Structure 1
Amino acid sequence: MISVRGEQYFDDVDPNATELMTEGTLEQTEDGFLLSYQETELTGMEGTLTTFEIGPGRVILRRSGSVNSQMVFEEGRQHTSLYETPYGELSVDIQTSRLLHNLTERGGLMEIKYSIAVEHVVTGRNCFKIRVRRK
């Protein structure tokens, strides 16, 4: 079972939060872990597979399906990628301020705090809090 809480912070406004509880997989890999789940109607990305590739000091978030994107999270670094939507592609800059996890093959927690800029204009600060536990 995977619990994903996404929070978006905008200037002087209470955070906008979305919480998803879903089934998924957590696999141990040579370099860390692979966490995967299907998005639902709740997130607005139904028909999309989300995968977190969790390695030492870096997490790569990939989405494929109705939304296609790749986001790289590395504490203290900025990464730019394309975010493909049904309406077109956008350039997205990700600046990660915090990346930590205590995942094991039995589950655990992961937290990623980052700011996001779309077409080089900062649109807010975000936070993923993901809890994984056996069903």
Structure 2
Amino acid sequence: MTSIEKVPVLLSIRGEQYFEGVDPDATELMTEGTMELTESGMRLNYQETELTGMAGTSTTFEVRGPRVILTRSGKVNSQMVFEEGRQHTSLYETPFGELTVDIQTGRLRHNLSERGGVMEIQYSIAVEHTVTGRNRFKIRVRRKN
């Protein structure tokens, strides 16, 4: 796959987790990363920090039409596939072992272009086939000047 160019961007990432009987847990992260247009869509990349508990991990969101693939590599290794109305199963590697993760995407919207934009993904997650909660990502992408 050939990339056009990596453009420096500012990413505002808000993650929300909802568990039964517990107040929602939200984290917000402002970080620098890169955005590149690819033959099949677009790729966003950034380094995780202590705030997310995954320092030493590189995170990539690859937008390919109606599908978004989230790949983490480093201290945590995983690949999660988001496709509205579909379930995808993947392996999640942590320093403590491997887990099977089922991702059921309820909503996937984005207006990303070479100028930036917003991507929102709502999904439920099941670890070892037991639903553990609902999650939501909202990522704002802004080109750095």
TM score, norm. by length of structure 1: 0.98
5+ residue gaps, structure 2, are 1-9
Give 1:13 deviation, angstroms. 2.9
Asked if residue 14 in structure 1 is aligned to residue 23 in structure 2, the reply is: yes
Aligned residue-pair number: 135
What is residue 72 of structure 1 aligned with on the other side? 81
User: What amino acid is the match of 1:129?
Assistant: K
Q: Scaled by the length of structure 2, what TM-score is found?
A: 0.91
| Residue 103 in structure 1 maps to residue 116 in structure 2 | no
**Percent of aligned positions that are identical:** 79
1:22-76, Cα deviation, whole Å (9 max, x unpaired): 0000111111100000000000000000000101100000000000000000000
1:82 alignment partner, SS class: strand
Separation (CA, whole Å) in 2 of partners of 1:74 and 1:117: 16
- Partners of 2:22 and 2:100 lie apart in 1 by 25
**1:45 alignment partner, SS class:** coil
Provide the aligned C-alpha RMSD in A. 0.7
What SS is found at the alignment partner of 2:23?
A: strand
Q: CA deviation at 1:12?
A: 3.8
Aligned position for 2:34 = 25
1:49 aligns with 2:48: no
In the TM superposition, residue 10 of structure 1 has moved relative to its aligned partner by 1.3
- Partner of residue 134 from structure 1, selected from 109, 123, 143: 143
Residue in 1 that maps onto 2:7: none
Match of 1:2 in 2: 11
Give the partner amino acid of 1:19.
E
2:103 matches 1:94: yes
Q: 5+ unaligned residues in a row in structure 1: which ranges?
A: none
| Residue deviations 1:116-135 (CA, integer Å, cap 9, x gap) | 00000000000000000012
Q: Which residue number in structure 1 is paired with residue 126 of structure 2?
A: 117
